[in-house]
Chain A
Amino acid sequence: MRPVFGIVVRELVRFWRQRGRVLASLARPFVWLIFAGAGFATVFTGAGEIDYRRYMAPGLLGMVVMFGSLLAALSTVTDRDAGVLRMVLVAPIRRSTVALGKILGATLLGTTQAVAVGVILLSLVQLWPGPQSLLLALAGVVLSSLAMGALGLVLAASIRSIENFAGVMNFVVFPMLFLSGALYPVRRLGSALQALVYLNPLAYGVDLLKHALLGGWRGAGYGGELPLALDIAALVAFAVAGLLGGAALLAREGGVTRTAFRGGA
């Protein structure tokens, strides 16, 4: 377990050193709350049933988890570029241990950021969940972070260079956010888009958070659209699949070095 601990500690230290990243991650959801919240509130048809900013809260927490955890795991790409990944892969540990360390580090970062944001966010939108709901919300944050971290690792292990990073942001991160139910209920989307929603781990995380935080509006259809058990099962499945997939991708030949593919320059 010491290697896993080592990998996690490194992730935390690196994150903490990048103050800009810390601040951005904490400020981002509030920027969305203010600006996207103001705009979407005017077209939100459920306005008589629930305040739009309150409706956004679980989705914004999901967003914090996504940026926190997914981006942390995606840092594996920079590790490869900087060569650090080689130090990790030449250590006498299994690739699954490396994957586990990366995913747990990402989970811890995603969860911490979501909890920090959550404390302020929930008071801003005046959501006061009881202890049980808070616990469920915490579980939702942890599970979503796990699933997001696992997805990030798989992406990082699949993309070979840092140049593809922007592509990931545009074609993975934003679609995932918009197809998660974070900003509008999933049931109002067309069936093709709804199908995509079910492939999106973030959607299950946001739905779980709605169960936890918007339970009072369940009757009106805002307190989670899928069964709670399905949300949990899907997130666990994504996390496990990502762990195994990430480990397998890391174990691929040439996962270690770029020079290896050049036939040993």
Chain B
Amino acid sequence: MTAPAIEARGLGKDFGSIRALDKLDLAVHEGEFFGCLGPNGAGKTTTVHLLATLLKPTRGTARVAGYDVVRDDLRTRRSIGLVFQETTLDRDLTVEENLHFAARLWSLPGRLAAPRIAELLGQFGLLERRRDPVRALSGGMRRALDVARGILHQPRVLFLDEPTAGLDPRARRSLWELIRQLRRASGLTVFLTTHYVEEAEPCDRVAVIDGGRLVALGTPAELKRAAAVNSLEEVFLARTGHPLAEPSAA
């Protein structure tokens, strides 16, 4: 096995007196589909932002794609793609313009960017909408474009922070299909956060997080076996003593 794609050691973050993340230890392997399951406010987004160099850890260290997230923040950011909870697209620009903007931000030379963008537009079913402003797209299409933007520079690790929030069931299914194809085609490491149990089921391994603490880690099958229950939902209940709150309108 090669060096882990993501490695956190005692990683923690406080916001003032609030301990958003206590001390996280985990290693995500190259090519793994890793899920981070927990209710809202558990520390999932904080974890992603720490690993993506957008926050500075209060304690501990982390390496992503082999780079220290504090000392090598630029190289870390070059190696990762990040799809935020809320869209980061410029709604006034067209689909194509958004991708070209991202390509320039990631310093992709024009001769590489143009074919790559054409490829992604085809792959994500956006070819016919490429000259439409993003504001004219459906939520599902915007999300697809967010993901396309996230992998434009062919990152080694893709972070998906609650990617299906606000999507209807059909858009969700097509998004998961896209992610599946992507993983199969490129061996991309995917770090997913979610509060939907069913979205964590297909993951290779799942970290269950609650109140800023890692409460369980393993394959979905292992977790269920260890807790002697049948669903990840019950794993959560068994480990924390309270149910994984039904998602509010996110």
Chain A residues within CB distance 8 Å of chain B = 2-3, 5-7, 9-10, 13-14, 17, 82-84, 86-94, 253-254, 256-257, 259-265
Chain B contributes a number of interface residues (CB within 8 A of A) equal to 44
Are B85 and A94 in contact (CB-based, < 8 A)? Answer: no
Are B90 and A264 in contact (CB-based, < 8 A)? Answer: no
Are A92 and B47 in contact (CB-based, < 8 A)? Answer: no
Inter-chain contacts of B93 with A (CB < 8 A) = 10, 13-14
Inter-chain contacts of B74 with A (CB < 8 A) = 92-94
Chain B residues within CB distance 8 Å of chain A = 15, 18, 20-21, 40-47, 49, 52, 54-56, 74-75, 77-78, 82, 84-93, 97, 100-109, 149
Are B18 and A6 in contact (CB-based, < 8 A)? Answer: no
Assembly CA distance A9 to B47 (angstroms): 33
Inter-chain contacts of A88 with B (CB < 8 A) = 105
Inter-chain contacts of A257 with B (CB < 8 A) = 49, 54, 84
Inter-chain contacts of A84 with B (CB < 8 A) = 88-90
Nearest-Cβ distance from residue A241 to partner chain B, whole angstroms: 25
A2-B107, A87-B105 known; A260+B41 contact, CB < 8 A: no
Assembly CA distance A263 to B42 (angstroms): 9
Tell me which of A90, A257, A262 has the highest count of chain B C-beta atoms within 10 A of its own C-beta.
Answer: A90
Are A261 and B15 in contact (CB-based, < 8 A)? Answer: yes
Assembly CA distance A92 to B43 (angstroms): 24
Q: Which of the residues B18, B101, B108 comes within 8 Å of A263, measured between beta carbons?
A: B18
A17-B92, A84-B89 known; A260+B105 contact, CB < 8 A: no
Q: Which of the residues A2, A86, A94, A254 comes within 8 Å of B104, measured between beta carbons?
A: A2
Q: Which of the residues A13, A17, A264 comes within 8 Å of B46, measured between beta carbons?
A: A264
Nearest-Cβ distance from residue A3 to partner chain B, whole angstroms: 5
